[in-house]
């Protein structure tokens, strides 16, 4: 008998749960201004998240997917990407979108049922939110193929959850990316729960990062609650892909502290003890403790930041609530290049009924 293949999966972390450095920090993380910017983006994302849930609970927003507890993963990813890279998100990457210049009011518009919220001004080539699980990972592979074909120094980034790695779309995407050596990064946000199904019941793989082995591409695991390591390792993977080195799979270990969406009740399937234990790994508190220990942050600054974030979210909510809704017949606008007669008749009938209603 002989061994024909073997592999290792490495786990990386810079800041532990107490906010102490456990390894030599990368150069960018030695700049207090950079870390303060990361911290601000994470606090803003959480402030937005709380308000969005409140809007949904009071009937002013549709079903909403919270990112509570996952802010470091999404902020780190956003800061690692370059403006011309392309993001193919699932439905929880609001923090990444904000870093990439998407207004908070646009995200509210989308969850309020208005597709204009996905017509990004600054991140024009980013894909819209994908509610279907893992189908967008295929889209990212397709975009990456286009970049390679055109010889453009751009990378497509697909983000999916742990549950998404159980879908055939995911395996097909990483396989074709490996075969064609595509400029693509696959970010698996392992928040431990695929709606109500725990990680242990989804896969017998010891890690989700090792699923990269079957596709012949590198895979690694990082602490998803450590914004520094997320930014660092994603940036390394992006640089490699941009230089023709092919795809990478990164598994970010984090935890979904809210319900799956506002249509869910997580208390039915997970214990309060588990939730309380995960709160101790809070990504925002972790970075805050580090900054304070380094003399780069203080409680007065923290209170000021909270006020600023509340003000920004207030302005975004006002803009969202004061946006004139689209006429109902516009639901037909982007179905076909030329609308078939049947649908054209339906559109005109709906338009007439709406005018009478008004």
Residue ranges per domain, the chain?
Answer: 11-326, 328-358
Catalytic residue among 11, 269, 336, 343: 269
For residue 300 the two structure tokens come to 């007065």
For range 268-278, the mean pLDDT? 97
Catalytic residue among 46, 51, 242, 256: 256
Residue 65 has pLDDT above 90, yes or no: yes
Residue 257 near residue 68 (C-beta atoms within 8 A): yes
For range 296-313, the mean pLDDT? 98
**Model pLDDT, residue 358:** 73
For range 195-220, the mean pLDDT? 96
Catalytic residue among 100, 154, 260, 286: 260
For residue 324 the two structure tokens come to 């004139």
For range 315-331, the mean pLDDT? 94
For the beta sheet containing 86-88, the strands, ordered from the edge strand earlier in sequence to the opposite edge, are 11-12, 219-223, 248-253, 184-190, 156-161, 86-88
Mean pLDDT, rounded, of the chain: 97
Q: Which residues 6+ apart lie within 8 Å of 267 measured at CB?
A: none
CATH 3.40.50.970 matches 11-326: yes
Residue 256 annotated to the active site: yes
Average the pLDDT over each of 201-210, 270-279, 332-341 and give the range with the smallest value. Answer: 332-341
Q: What is the secondary structure of 129-177 as a DSSP string?
A: P--SSSHHHHHHHHHHHHHHHHT----EEEEEETGGGGSHHHHHHHHHH
- The H-or-E segment that residue 215 falls in is helix 212-215
Residue 287 near residue 15 (C-beta atoms within 8 A): yes
Residue 269 annotated to the active site: yes
């Amino acid at each position: 008998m002989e061994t024909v293949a073997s592999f290792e999966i490495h786990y990386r972390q810079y800041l532990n749960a107490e906010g102490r450095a456990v390894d030599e920090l990368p150069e960018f993380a030695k700049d207090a201004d950079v870390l303060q910017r990361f911290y601000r983006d994470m606090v803003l994302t959480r402030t937005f998240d709380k308000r969005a849930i409140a809007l949904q609970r009071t009937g002013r927003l549709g079903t909403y997917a919270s990112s509570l507890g996952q802010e470091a993963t999404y902020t780190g990813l956003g800061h690692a990407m370059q403006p011309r890279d392309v993001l193919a998100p699932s439905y929880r990457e609001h923090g990444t979108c904000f870093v990439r210049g998407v207004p908070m009011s646009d995200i509210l518009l989308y969850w309020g049922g208005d597709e204009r919220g996905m017509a990004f001004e600054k991140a024009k080539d980013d894909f819209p939110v994908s509610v279907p699980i893992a189908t967008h990972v295929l889209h990212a592979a397709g975009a990456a193929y286009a970049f390679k074909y055109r010889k453009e120094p751009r990378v497509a980034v697909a983000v999916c959850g742990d549950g998404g790695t159980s879908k055939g779309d995911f395996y097909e995407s990483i396989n074709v990316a490996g075969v064609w050596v595509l400029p693509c990064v696959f970010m698996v946000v392992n928040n431990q729960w695929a709606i109500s199904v725990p990680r242990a019941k989804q896969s017998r793989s010891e890690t989700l990062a090792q699923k990269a082995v079957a596709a012949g591409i590198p895979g690694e695991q990082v602490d998803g609650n450590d914004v520094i390591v997320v930014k660092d390792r994603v940036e390394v993977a992006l640089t490699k892909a941009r230089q023709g080195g092919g795809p990478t799979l990164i598994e970010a270990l984090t935890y979904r502290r809210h319900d799956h969406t506002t249509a869910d009740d997580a208390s039915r399937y997970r214990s309060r003890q588990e939730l309380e234990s995960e709160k101790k790994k809070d990504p925002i508190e972790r970075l805050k403790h580090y900054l304070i220990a380094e003399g780069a942050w203080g409680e007065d600054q923290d209170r000021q930041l909270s006020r600023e974030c509340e003000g920004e979210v207030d302005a975004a909510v006002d803009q969202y609530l004061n946006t004139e809704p689209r006429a109902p017949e516009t639901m037909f606008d982007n179905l076909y290049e030329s609308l078939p007669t049947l649908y054209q008749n339906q559109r005109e009938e709906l338009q007439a009924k709406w005018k009478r209603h008004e």
